[in-house]
Amino acid sequence: MKKSFNTTNDYLSEEEYNQKVDTFFNERVFMIGTKEFEDAFLDQSIIECLNVHRPLETGQWRTEDIASLRSKDKFSDEINKNGISKKLRIHYLSQS
């Protein structure tokens, strides 16, 4: 993944910037091949996982629900808001 150093961030040297970016990706991004973790699974797999482990109060998760979450800036953040952390997603999806 290409990093882009912004010279307007004068509080960080380029080396410090690169280190922060590396730390972020090492701690917060889980890749499967060239895809981020959540993008490696079909919507149907995610729906089944959520319906078993985090069902909606209003009923079952549907394809439209996942499409709506995927349309946001960060799909994984949207799933987090629904009560299922990345560690839990890894655990639950690995069992399905």
Report yes or no: 43 and 63 within 8 Å, Cβ to Cβ. Answer: yes
The boundaries of the domain holding residue 54 are: 37-95
DSSP state of 83: T
pLDDT confidence bin for 32, thresholds 50/70/90: low
pTM: 0.58
Report yes or no: 47 and 62 within 8 Å, Cβ to Cβ. Answer: yes
Q: Is residue 11 part of a domain?
A: no
Q: Is residue 44 part of a domain?
A: yes
Q: Is residue 67 part of a domain?
A: yes
Q: Is residue 52 part of a domain?
A: yes
Q: Is residue 60 part of a domain?
A: yes
Q: What is the amino acid identity at position 59? A: G
Q: Is residue 12 part of a domain?
A: no
Q: How many domains does the chain have?
A: 1
Q: What angle do CA 63, 66, 68 make, to 5 degrees?
A: 110
* Range with top average pLDDT, 21-30, 55-64, 86-95: 55-64
Q: Is residue 71 part of a domain?
A: yes
Percent of the chain with pLDDT over 90: 11
Output the six-digit token pair for 66.
């996942």
